Amino acid sequence: MNTVVLPFDDAAIARAAELVRAGQPVAVPTETVYGLAADATNPQAVAAIYAAKGRPSFNPLIVHVSDLDLARTLADFPAPALRLAEAIWPGPLTIVAPLMPKSPIASLATAGLSTVAIRVPAHPAMQALLRAAGLPLAAPSANASGTISPTRAEHVLKSLGGRIPLVIDGGRTMVGLESTIVAIDDAGLRLLRPGQLSAEDLAALARVPFIASDSNRIEAPGQLASHYAPALPLRLSADSARDDEWLIGFGAIAGDRTLSDSGDLVEAAANLFDALHEADASGRSAIAVAAVPDNGLGVAINDRLRRAAAPR
Question: In sequence order, what are the residues at sequence separation of 6 or more whose Cβ sits closer than 8 angstroms to the Cβ of residue 1?
Answer: 162, 163, 164, 165
> CB–CB of 194/30 below 8 Å?
no
Q: How far is the CB of 192 from ligand TXA (least distance, A)?
A: 5
Instruction: Please tell me whether residue 139 binds ligand TXA under the rule CB under 6 A.
Output: yes
Q: Least distance in Å: CB of 119 to ligand TXA?
A: 6
CA dist., res. 107 & res. 63, Å (int):
12
Q: Is 115 in the site for ligand TXA (CB under 6 A)?
A: yes
For residues 74 and 216, what is the distance between their CA atoms, to the nearest angstrom?
31
Kindly identify the residues of this chain, within the stretch 13-32, that bind ligand TXA according to CB under 6 A.
30, 32
SS3 115: strand
Question: What's the rounded Cα separation, in Å, for the pair 24 and 165?
Answer: 8
How many angstroms separate the CA atoms of 300 and 297, rounded? 5
Q: Which residue is nearest to Mg ion (CB)?
A: 141
Nearer to ligand TXA, 141 or 302 (CB): 141
The β-bridge relationship of strands 253-255 and 93-98 is unpaired
Which lies closer to ligand TXA via its Cβ, residue 43 or residue 60?
Answer: 60
User: What, of ligand TXA, Mg ion, none, does residue 169 touch, CB below 5 to 8 Å by kind?
Assistant: none
Among 66, 94, 260, 271, contact with ligand TXA (rule: CB under 6 A): 94
Which runs of consecutive H residues, i.e. helices, occur in 5-67? 10-21, 43-53
Beta-bridged to residue 94, according to DSSP, are 181
Site string for ligand TXA, 150-189 (x = CB under 6 A): ----------------------------xx-x--------
Give the span between the Cα atoms of 212 and 188, in whole angstroms.
Answer: 10
Q: How far is the CB of 308 from ligand TXA (least distance, A)?
A: 17
Considering only residues 211 through 240, tell me which ones interact with ligand TXA, judged by CB under 6 A: 224, 226
Q: Binding partner of residue 60 among ligand TXA, Mg ion, none, CB under 5 to 8 Å per kind? A: ligand TXA
60 contributes a contact to ligand TXA by CB under 6 A: yes
Nearest residue to 208 via CA among 116, 82, 71? 82
Q: Applying CB under 6 A, which of residues 12, 20, 27, 33 lies at the interface with ligand TXA?
A: 33
Of 58, 27, 60, the C-alpha closest to 143 is 27
Under 8 Å between Cβ of 172 and 154: no
User: In this complex, which beta carbon is closest to ligand TXA, that of residue 289 or of residue 308?
Assistant: 308
Q: Which is nearer to ligand TXA, 103 or 110 (CB)?
A: 110
- Residues 40 and 109: beta-carbon distance below 8 Å: yes
Residue 67 or 261 with smaller CB distance to ligand TXA = 67
Binding site for ligand TXA (CB under 6 A): 30, 32-33, 35, 59-62, 94, 96, 110, 113, 115-117, 121, 139-141, 178-179, 181, 192-193, 224, 226
